[in-house]
Amino acid sequence: MTELRNSLADAARFRMRALAVGIVALAAFCVLTGRLFFLQVLRHEDLAAQAESNRTAVVPIVPGRGLILDRNGVVLASNYSAYTLEITPAQAGDLDETIAELSRVVEIQPRDRRRFKQLLEQARNFESLPIRTRLSEQEVARFAAQRYRFPGVDIKARLFRNYPLGEVASHAIGYIGRINQNEKTRIQDSDDEANYRGTEYIGKLGIEQSFEPVLHGSTGVEQMETSAGGRAVRSLSSYPATPGDAVLLALDIRLQKLVEDLFGARRGALVAIDPRSGEVLALVSKPTFDPNLFVEGIDVENWTALNESPDKPLLNRALRGTYPPGSTYKPFMALAALESGKRTPSMITQDNGSWSFGGHVFRSHSDHGLGAVDMHRSIVQSSNVYYYALANDMGVDLMHDFMQPLGFGQLTGIDLHGELRGLLPSREWKRNAYRRPGQGTWYAGETISLGIGQGYNSFTTLQLAHATATLANAGLRHRPHLAIATLDAVTQERRPLAREPAVDLHYRPENLEVVRRALVGVTQEGTSARAFAGARYLSAGKTGTAQAVSIGQKDRYNAARLQEQQRDHALYIAFAPANEPRIALAVLVENAGWGAGVAAPIARRVFDYWLLGEYPSEEDMLAVQKGAATAPIGKPRLAADVPLVEP
């Protein structure tokens, strides 16, 4: 039987369905309209900026690094342009395959691949990244012939840092190297983050590090239009980079090289200062190293050789090597005695060759004594007994309070990072250094050896030179500094660096004159007289010998029985001309023996160069390097005639 449909019910259901569909459509339309309003009205500016950002990319333009020059304009650090093989990841396709094919045309070592991978992780895919640097002309020609095979790969010219004199003054100049993670984090937390975009290198040591903001310059930008895939289409605008300013040093690079050559293969340090200004004329640490090794990342073999060498060529001995000053401390002890009233110039101490205290015998240089010794003779003949007795009378705290303003055991504030403080002992220092009961007590017997620059005394060569310069400058203390000015990269305008005013230590002129006359006596009749024989100027100085290891009370020092690293250090401090000093210095030769025979001859050649413009003969140079010279031998050369770089 056929069922008849109810047309009224069907019509009602249809109307219900149509209404439901209409409601859904209306709701969807409302949602769409609301979304369009939100995106096109409320977020218009934000989304427009994002769209523009996706359409464009800002590529940094790395500035050229500023030069470093010596006081006479000799270039110590420069830049040169060289070809690099670079890949733009967005255009190169499969990178592994591209690099594999490139290696058949141009040599690509595993370290080049590792470096490229690190750069790739930190860069955007439209940036050009180097896979090989410093291509030879043959390599450039080989790649150019097959350039069509490598989309996204090109040869570009980049600036590279160069140190034209190699190892000379490397500790003072420093070097640049790739930015490590710690440095990257520090930059990101600073206001200079934008200025380091695109920069791969940063100053690591010396002037390169301490004047990084000046040398780096200002990064420029280029705005590029990019495709949806990140491919660069065209340049929209650019803002050029500003090169870093040049830094002019007080350093005389000819003097620096002379001293380094005089040291030869020996270890040690020398710091020469103009006492009138605090300008550092030479800052030598031997052995040195070639900073060019670090520019593109040092290889494992060279790093191992430098890092594991027993001579520690990476150690800046002038700033970070601390040593007892030995007898070079005696002039400062004498001045302290005069200023404190503990001694007068004419007071006599009987030197019988030893001095006893608390059952301990403190020995002098030899078994026979010097007899009756006044202050002048105590310095000229370097009497240990005189200063044993003086130290006992002064006490450790009085010595500390006098030596501290001279810079002993203090940071000098030189414009280089990494300076060590050294150690100037006092009762308070020992209480803080030794926390266990009884260990922090200062014993009277510990004071005695301080008088001759031994015991806990431990200072840098820079501190010793700084104190000598202050003494030479009649107690006016200048902060030592290497940099004296900057040169604007655009205008070449010279801008002197601001300097702190000198600090007057207010020594009595008559006391300074007593010490000065004695130091002149050292060079005329005392321990350095042979080294300064025939000098056409009057200088003042003091020799010193400092123990590297302790010698027993009943033992005699015998260098032949000791390993080289255990032998005494040779020291010398001096300034010249004696009446109007223009240069003051401290020199230390590690494990070389007597200061008079090894350190003083180096100082003599420095003064001859600075005051007379004379350079040692080749024969004399060899003799000094062997520690077999006193006064100069052979005919000296004019310093201006000696080439800075060997032909």
Per-residue confidence (pLDDT) for residue 96, from 0 to 100: 84
CA-atom Rg of the chain in angstroms: 35
pLDDT at residue 221 above 80? no
What is the C-alpha to C-alpha distance for residues 286 and 260, in angstroms, rounded to an integer?
Answer: 7
Question: Largest Cα–Cα distance of the chain, in whole Å?
Answer: 152
Across the range 264-274, mean pLDDT stands at 96
Q: Which residue shows structure tokens 């990084």? A: 212
Question: Which of the pair, 389 or 48, is modelled with greater confidence?
Answer: 389
- Please check whether residue 380 is in contact with residue 518, taking contact to mean a CB–CB distance below 8 angstroms: yes
The answer to whether 294 touches 204, Cβ cutoff 8 Å, is yes
In Å, what is the CA distance from 34 to each residue of 21, 28, 395?
A: 20, 10, 88
Do residues 171 and 285 lie in contact, with contact meaning Cβ atoms separated by under 8 Å?
yes
Residue 289 confidence (pLDDT): 96
pLDDT exceeds cutoff 90 at 605: yes
Determine the average pLDDT of the residues in 113-127: 71
- Segment 606-617, tens digit of pLDDT: 999 999 999 999
Q: pTM of this prediction?
A: 0.84
Specify the pLDDT at position 56: 55
Cis peptide before 577 (omega within 30 of 0): yes
**Taking residues 232-254, what's their average pLDDT?**
83
Summarize the confidence of residues 590-596 as an average pLDDT: 81
Check whether 451 has a pLDDT greater than 70: yes
**175 touches 92 (CB < 8 A):** no
DSSP state of 42: I
pLDDT at 319: 96
Q: Which helix (H) or strand (E) holds 234?
A: strand 232-239
Exposure of 470 in the CB half-sphere (CA atoms within 13 A): 28
pLDDT at 233: 56
Residue 549 in 3-state DSSP? coil
Q: How far apart are CA 39 and CA 45, in angstroms?
A: 9
* Nearest CA-CA partner of 285 in 317, 252, 241: 317
Strands 246-249 and 68-69: parallel
> Hey, what are 332's tokens?
């400062």
Q: For residues 576-600, give the mean pLDDT.
A: 92
pLDDT for res 559: 44
Q: What is the pLDDT of residue 50?
A: 52
Query: Could you tell me which of 573, 634, 636 has the C-alpha nearest to residue 609?
Result: 636
Catalytic member of 327, 364, 382, 458: 327
Backbone φ and ψ of 217, nearest 5°:
85, -170
Cis (ω within 30 of 0) for the bond into 287?
A: yes
Query: Does the active-site annotation cover 78?
Result: no
Q: Which amino acid is at 57?
A: A
In whole angstroms, what is the distance from residue 440 CA to residue 68 CA? 48
Sign for the CA dihedral angle at 178, 183, 184, 190 comes to: negative
Asked if residues 445 and 499 have their Cβ atoms less than 8 Å apart, the reply is no
- Mean pLDDT across the stretch 275-302? 92
Which one, of 76, 201, 64, 62, lies nearest residue 483 by Cα? 76
- Alpha carbon distance 350, 372 (integer Å): 5
Q: What is the mean pLDDT of the chain?
A: 87
Question: C-alpha angle 597/599/601, rounded to 5°?
Answer: 70
Alpha-carbon distance 323 to 573, whole Å? 14
For residue 507, the model assigns a pLDDT of 98
Please tell me the distance from the alpha carbon of residue 259 to that of residue 278, in angstroms, as a whole number.
Answer: 19
Q: What is the pLDDT of residue 88?
A: 83
Coil/strand/helix, residue 296: coil
Q: Which residues of 101-115 are buried (b: 16+ CB within 10 A; e: fewer)?
A: ebeebbebeeebeeb
Percentage of residues in the chain having pLDDT higher than 90: 57
Neighbouring CB atoms inside 10 A of 539's CB total 24
The residue written with tokens 């260990």 in the block is: 439
Q: Is the dihedral of CA 96, 98, 104, 105 positive or negative?
A: negative
Write phi, then psi, for 313 (nearest 5 degrees): -65, -20
pLDDT category at 58 given cuts 50, 70, 90 is low
| Residue 485 parent element (H or E) | strand 483-487
Does 588 have pLDDT greater than 80?
Answer: yes
Greater model confidence, 232 or 510: 510
DSSP code of 310?
Answer: T
535-581 pLDDT, tens digit each: 999 999 999 998 764 544 444 434 444 455 667 889 999 999 999 99
* Spatial CA neighbour of 349 closest among 312, 377, 320, 313: 377
Does residue 405 carry a pLDDT above 60?
A: yes
Residues in CB range of 471: below 8 A, 6 or more apart: 331, 332, 335, 406, 512, 515, 575, 584
Q: Measuring CA to CA, how many Å separate 32 from each of 29, 36, 47?
A: 5, 6, 17
Task: Kindly report, residue by residue over 483-528, the tens digit of the pLDDT.
Answer: 999 999 889 999 999 999 999 999 999 999 999 999 999 999 999 9
Residue type, position 138, single letter: Q
Query: What pLDDT does residue 552 have?
Result: 44
Least confident of 10-14, 223-227, 326-330: 223-227
- Position 547 scores a pLDDT of 76
The string of DSSP letters for 402-458 reads HHGGGTTTS----SSS-----B---HHHHHHH--STTTTPPPHHHHHGGGGT-TT-B
- Enter the tokens of residue 133: 């640097």
Distance CA 16, CA 403 (A): 104
Q: Which of 10-14, 43-47, 637-641 has the lowest mean pLDDT?
A: 43-47
Tell me the β-bridge partners of 608.
none
CA distance 170 to 205: 9
Specify whether the CB–CB gap between 269 and 286 falls below 8 A: yes
Helix ranges restricted to H, 285-407: 300-307, 317-320, 330-340, 375-380, 384-394, 396-403
